[in-house]
Amino acid sequence: MPNTAYALTLPLTPLLRQAKRLAQTVIRLVPAHKRPQPRAYLVGGAVRDIILNLPPKDIDIEVYHVTFPQLSTLLKKTYGDIPIRANARYGTWEIRTQAGSLNVSIPRTETQHGPGHTDLKVTLRPHLSRAKALARRDFTINAILADALTGKVYDPYQGARDIQKGILQPVAINTFAKDALRAWRAVQLLGRYNLRPGTTLQHLLKHMAKAPAMRVLSAERILAECDKLFTPGSKPSNALKVAQTSGLLTARIQPLAKLGKKPTAWRALLVELDRCAATKSKNTQAACWHAILKALSPQAGLVLIHTLKLPKKYRLPKNR
């Protein structure tokens, strides 16, 4: 797909209708004759899912050429009694409606200054160019803007092309490698959307698996990404093969890494995980964790529970 030569047909879901109403309100903040004009764009997973003909569950909206105080006042007036969670540091607002969550933000830049996931210098820049604003995104498939009113697409990193090819690639090598959590986000996206890692991503994951930042990444964050992987319709085997070959399992989930060296047992587990995910049950996550614990020895299972701080709802009865 060319960069800006096409527009998406935005499905008229209740949540997208709300996004459109917000976009209409935003453009009225500044008189029509003044420049630059405010504009609201869908971004991230919502655009990705629309391209894939999937209904977006939550919607991220990035608003350009409006300051934090201006947009904060507008949102309070627009949504009245609906609770709004604002984060002045990141320039974000979460609006939980009956239809789902609207996650609103203004453009910003982020500079990593430590190994932690939140060790960032954040600068709000409402007039930042779209390409520079998207540069902080993790993957090309999540770095696509779609005008919330017209559906017109802005795709400087060719994310739509990668979606069509079934490839997962980072937007920017340097910034991607500084955030250890992005390696596990890559793993869950590979499984959820049945993607294959691009060459650049493969090299990055191997590098990140050995980096100090991987050792200090919290177990809770890794578990959260695994939970996203173990969802109905996912293909966990696709993701775990990459996690094994890249060294991520060796770095943080050693019981699974050791099982990965036993071909028969490893293949059997991957088949069972795919079967669990294919059932599309409400208990898919628990079923997947149960399959993993059953594949491990009792001692290895206890190590995994301790390593990931696995909640009781995911443990086998004998491990609770």
Beta-carbon contacts of 25 under 8 Å, excluding residues fewer than 6 positions away, are: 74, 78
H/E stretch holding 147 = strand 145-147
- HEC secondary structure over 89-130: CCCEEEEEECCEEEEEECCEEEEECCCCCCCEEEEECCCCCH
Shared domain check, 213 and 158? no
Shared domain check, 140 and 203? no
Whether residue 36 has a cis bond before it, omega within 30° of 0: yes
- Each of the 320 residues of the chain gets a pLDDT tens digit; together they read 445 568 899 988 999 999 999 999 999 887 776 788 999 999 999 999 999 998 888 899 999 999 999 999 999 988 887 888 999 999 999 999 888 899 999 999 988 766 666 677 899 999 999 999 999 999 999 999 999 999 999 999 999 999 999 999 999 998 899 899 999 999 999 999 999 999 999 999 999 999 999 999 999 999 999 999 999 999 999 999 999 999 999 999 999 999 999 999 999 999 999 999 998 778 999 999 999 999 999 999 999 999 999 999 999 987 76
CA 97 to chain centre: 21
Strand partners, 64: 39
Q: Is residue 97 a part of any domain in this protein?
A: yes
Domain assignment of residue 98, given as a range: 14-165
Q: Is residue 6 a part of any domain in this protein?
A: no
In the chain, the number of structural domains is 2
Q: Among 89, 99, 17, which Cα is nearest to 58's? A: 99
Q: Is residue 170 a part of any domain in this protein?
A: no
Q: Reading across the β-sheet that carries 59-64, which strands appear in turn?
A: 84-87, 92-97, 100-105, 59-64, 39-43, 145-147, 153-154
